[in-house]
C-alpha cells in the first residue's frame, strides 16, 4: 500500500464529507462494542503465561524457570499464578487464550518485530500506518480511538482524530486555552483549533488527572471513557519490559512482574467497565515469544511463537485455542522456539470484524492486503 498517513487523512475526511456519510447499521440502535489492545513490548513468553502441563522436555530445558502453583485451566494447559483475573474470568467463559501463535515474523529483532506487530505487514518499516488504524478507517469509525500513551502509537495510525490520554506531571489549567482560543484563526490553524476543541470537551475527570506513572489511574479513566456509549470504541495500552534475558524466574521472576501489570490493567478494566465488559474484547499483542531453553542468566532469548491473552464478554467460551506444534526438537522452530501455527493477525482481523461489525473478508483485504487469514470469529467470539 502506497498511501502515506497524510493521504489517509485527506482520503478519510473527504469521503466522509462528500458522501454525507451514514453507517450501514445505525450505531444508536445497538450496543457499542469495545476493542482494547494491550501491547506487550519486549517479547512475551507464552510458555510462562500459559504453560503446557507435564511436558518433560520443557521441564528439562527450563529447570530454573519452572512454575509452582500453576492455576488450572484444562488437562493440557495451566495459567501463571499472577494472571488471577484471567483465571477468574475463565470460570465465566470470559477469558481465553490463543497459543502457539505469532505475527509472521521470525527475525528476532525487537525493533523490526514491534514495527510489524503494529503495522501488520511483512517488511519492517515499509508501512507507515497500523492495522488497527486501517481497520477503523475501513469501517468508517473516525475519532473513536484512545491511546493510553503520549505519542500516538503506530498501531492506531491511519485514521484521523484519535484521542490520547497520558496526563502531564502536574495539573494544567485548561482555562489558559480559553484565553487564547480565539487567536487561532485561518485555515492553517484549523488542526490545532480542532484539537483544542477535543481538549475542551474532555470530561472533568480527564482534565484533573495527573501522574502517568500510575497505570491504575490511567486504566480507570480508560474504563470510564469506554463505558460511555458515545465515548471511544478502541483503546490501546502499552507495556514494556518483557525482554527478560536474565532472572526471568518462575512465580516471582522478572517476567512474572510484567504479567502482574497486565493482570492489574485487566482487573481494573473489568471492575470498572461494568455492563460494558460484556461488549468488550481485550487482546494482547507482542512481537515474538521466547526460546524454550533457559540461557546462562536463567532468562530466555528472543524466540518466535507466543500466546494471545484474551478477556471480555464477547468471547465465545473459555478455551485454549491452538494447533499445538509440540516441543520436541524437530517440532520447534529452527530447533529452538515454540513454533507459530496460527497467524496472530487472523485473530486480530476476526476481533476487528466482531467489534466493528464488518465482514472479515472485507477487512482482510482492506487492512492486511488480502493475506491468507482464516476467519476465526466462529471459533473465538460471540457472533
Partner 1 sequence: MSLNFYRRVAFGLSPNEKPDKDPLNWAINQLDTIPDLLWPGTIPTEKDLRKKYGEWVYGDREVLRKKFKNDKHAYRKAKDELRIKTGERYFELNEHAIRHFQTKYSKQPVFERFWLFWGNHFAISEKDFLAEFSTGPYQREIIRPNMVKTFEEMVQSVTTSWCMIHHLDNSESFGPNSKKGMEWGETINENHARELLELHTVSPNAGYTQEDVIQLAYIMTGWAHKWDRKNLETGDIWFDQEMHQKGDKIVLGVKYKNDAKRELAKVIHDLATHPICIKFVSTKLCRHFITDEPTDEMINPVIEAWNKSDGNLIEIHKAVITQAYKYNENTHKFHPPEIWLMQLSRMFDLNIPLSFEKMNYTFKSKPNNRQRQLSWILREIGHSPYRAKQPNGWSDLEVDWVSPELLLRRFWFASVELPMLVKSGNRSHDFILACLKNNFEDHENMASLIENFRFGTLDYDLGQKYGVICNLPGVLKI
Tell how far CA 147 is from the center of its chain.
Answer: 11
Q: Binding residues for partner 1, how many (CB under 8 A)?
A: 56
What are the Cα distances from residue 204, in Å, to 93, 181, 208, 382?
35, 19, 6, 35
| Cell numbers that stand for 193 in this block | 483549533
Spell out, one character per residue from 137 to 176, where the chain touches partner 1: x when CB under 8 A holds, - when not. -------------xxx-x-------xxxxxxxxx-xxx-x
For β-strands 234-239 and 306-311, DSSP reports them as: unpaired
Spell out, one character per residue from 184 to 223, where the chain touches partner 1: x when CB under 8 A holds, - when not. xx--xx-xx--xx-xx--x---------------------
Residue 20 or residue 151: which is nearer to partner 1 going by CB?
A: 151
Q: How far is the CB of 94 from partner 1 (least distance, A)?
A: 31
Q: How far is the CB of 11 from partner 1 (least distance, A)?
A: 13
Buried b or exposed e, range 277-307, using 16+ CB within 10 angstroms: bebbbbbbbbbbbbbbbbeeebbbbbbbbbb
- In 214-344, DSSP assigns E strands to 234-239, 280-286, 306-311, 320-322, 342-343
Q: How far is the CB of 8 from partner 1 (least distance, A)?
A: 10
Does position 28 interact with partner 1 (CB under 8 A)? The reply is no
Q: Which of residues 216-245 bind partner 1 (CB under 8 A)?
A: 245
Residue 20 or residue 169: which is nearer to partner 1 going by CB?
A: 169
CA angle at residue 120 from 220 to 95, to 5 degrees?
45
Spell out, one character per residue from 320 to 349, where the chain touches partner 1: x when CB under 8 A holds, - when not. ------------------------------
Tell how far CA 366 is from the center of its chain.
Answer: 19
Residue 63 or residue 330: which is nearer to partner 1 going by CB?
A: 63
Q: How far is the CB of 62 from partner 1 (least distance, A)?
A: 13
Q: How far is the CB of 218 from partner 1 (least distance, A)?
A: 11
Q: Are 136 and 128 in contact (CB under 8 A)?
A: no
Does position 124 interact with partner 1 (CB under 8 A)? The reply is yes
Does position 30 interact with partner 1 (CB under 8 A)? The reply is no
Residue 248 or residue 349: which is nearer to partner 1 going by CB?
A: 248
Among 20, 213, 296, 372, binds partner 1 (CB under 8 A): 296
Angle (deg, nearest 10), helices 360-368 and 131-138: 130
The H-assigned helical ranges of the chain are 5-18, 46-49, 56-61, 84-90, 110-119, 131-138, 175-180, 190-200, 204-208, 215-227, 254-273, 344-355, 360-368, 377-380
Residue 298 or residue 356: which is nearer to partner 1 going by CB?
A: 298
CA angle at residue 360 from 358 to 365, to 5 degrees?
105
The footprint of partner 1 (CB under 8 A) covers 2, 5-6, 9, 64, 109-112, 115, 123-125, 150-152, 154, 162-170, 172-174, 176-177, 179-180, 183-185, 188-189, 191-192, 195-196, 198-199, 202, 245-247, 249, 252-254, 296-299
Amino acid at each position: 500500500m502506497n498511501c502515506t498517513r497524510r493521504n489517509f487523512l485527506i482520503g478519510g475526511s473527504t469521503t466522509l464529507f462528500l458522501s454525507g456519510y451514514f453507517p450501514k447499521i445505525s450505531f444508536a440502535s445497538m450496543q457499542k462494542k469495545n476493542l482494547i489492545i494491550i501491547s506487550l513490548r519486549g517479547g512475551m513468553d507464552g510458555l510462562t503465561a500459559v504453560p503446557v502441563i507435564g511436558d518433560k522436555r520443557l521441564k528439562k530445558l527450563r529447570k530454573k524457570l519452572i512454575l509452582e502453583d500453576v492455576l488450572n485451566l484444562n488437562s493440557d494447559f495451566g495459567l501463571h499464578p499472577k494472571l488471577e483475573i484471567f483465571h477468574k474470568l475463565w470460570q465465566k467463559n470470559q477469558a481465553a487464550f490463543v497459543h502457539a501463535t505469532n505475527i509472521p515474523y521470525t527475525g528476532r529483532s525487537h525493533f523490526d518485530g514491534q514495527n510489524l506487530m503494529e503495522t501488520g505487514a511483512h517488511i519492517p518499516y515499509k508501512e507507515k500506518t497500523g492495522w488497527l488504524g486501517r481497520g477503523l478507517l475501513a469501517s468508517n469509525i473516525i475519532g473513536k480511538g484512545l491511546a493510553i500513551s503520549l505519542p500516538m502509537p503506530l498501531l492506531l495510525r491511519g485514521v484521523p482524530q484519535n484521542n490520547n490520554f497520558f496526563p502531564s506531571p502536574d495539573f494544567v489549567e485548561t482555562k489558559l486555552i480559553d484565553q487564547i482560543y480565539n487567536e487561532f484563526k485561518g485555515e492553517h490553524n484549523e488542526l490545532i483549533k480542532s484539537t483544542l476543541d477535543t481538549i475542551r470537551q474532555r470530561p472533568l475527570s480527564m482534565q484533573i488527572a495527573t501522574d502517568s506513572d500510575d497505570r491504575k489511574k490511567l486504566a480507570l479513566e480508560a474504563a470510564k471513557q469506554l463505558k460511555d456509549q458515545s465515548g471511544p470504541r478502541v483503546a490501546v495500552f502499552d507495556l514494556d519490559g518483557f525482554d527478560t534475558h536474565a532472572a526471568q524466574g518462575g512465580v516471582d521472576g522478572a517476567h512474572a512482574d510484567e504479567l502482574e501489570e497486565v493482570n492489574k490493567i485487566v482487573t481494573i478494566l473489568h471492575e470498572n467497565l461494568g455492563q460494558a465488559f460484556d461488549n468488550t474484547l481485550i487482546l494482547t499483542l507482542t512481537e515474538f515469544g521466547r526460546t524454550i531453553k533457559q540461557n546462562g542468566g536463567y532468562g530466555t532469548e528472543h524466540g518466535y511463537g507466543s500466546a494471545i491473552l484474551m478477556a471480555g464478554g464477547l468471547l465465545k467460551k473459555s478455551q485454549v485455542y491452538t494447533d499445538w506444534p509440540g516441543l520436541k526438537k524437530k517440532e520447534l522452530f529452527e530447533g529452538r522456539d515454540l513454533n507459530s501455527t496460527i497467524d496472530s493477525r487472523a485473530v486480530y482481523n476476526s476481533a476487528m470484524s466482531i467489534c466493528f461489525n464488518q465482514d472479515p473478508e472485507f477487512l482482510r483485504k482492506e487492512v492486511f492486503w488480502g493475506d491468507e487469514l482464516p476467519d476465526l470469529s466462529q471459533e473465538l467470539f460471540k457472533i
